[in-house]
């Protein structure tokens, strides 16, 4: 089972590859492939063909997905790339916690599955 530890709008730190050391916001999580698209990371050039006379062709820069195992969540509290832990509060709420500073990151919403 491939569970992605980050989610949309998380700030993440890239560990490996040509973008190592970069941080960015998660734009999209592709859970089935355990891949993420991170803002400004792994840009690739795409050539776009003009369609019709109103649309210009050209070269656009677009983010490509990277493996979610190559990113770490950046904790909003301690600002460090950190491992994410899970904790269940007394009220039964499941939360994500930062393993570096111990702060609660956010609540895990148990969605469909």
Q: Which residues of this chain interact with Zn ion, rule CB under 5 A?
A: 75, 77-78, 98, 100-101
Q: Which is nearer to Zn ion, 7 or 67 (CB)?
A: 7
Residue 5 CB, shortest distance to Zn ion, in Å, is 14
Q: Which is nearer to Zn ion, 60 or 101 (CB)?
A: 101
% helix, strand, coil for the chain, step of 5: 5, 45, 50
Q: Which is nearer to Zn ion, 11 or 68 (CB)?
A: 11
Annotate 29-49 with b (16+ C-beta within 10 A) or e (fewer).
beeeebbbbbbebbeeeeeee
């Amino acid at each position: 089972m491939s569970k992605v530890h980050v989610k949309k709008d998380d700030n993440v730190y890239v560990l490996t590859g040509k973008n190592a050391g970069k941080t960015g916001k998660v734009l999209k999580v592709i859970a089935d492939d355990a891949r993420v698209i991170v803002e400004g990371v792994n840009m690739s050039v795409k050539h776009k063909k003009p369609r019709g006379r109103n649309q210009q062709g050209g070269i656009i820069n677009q983010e490509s997905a990277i493996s979610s195992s190559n990113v770490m969540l950046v904790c909003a509290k301690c600002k460090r790339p950190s491992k994410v832990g899970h904790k269940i509060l007394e009220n039964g709420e499941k939360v994500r916690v930062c393993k570096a500073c111990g702060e609660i990151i956010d609540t895990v919403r148990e969605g469909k599955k």
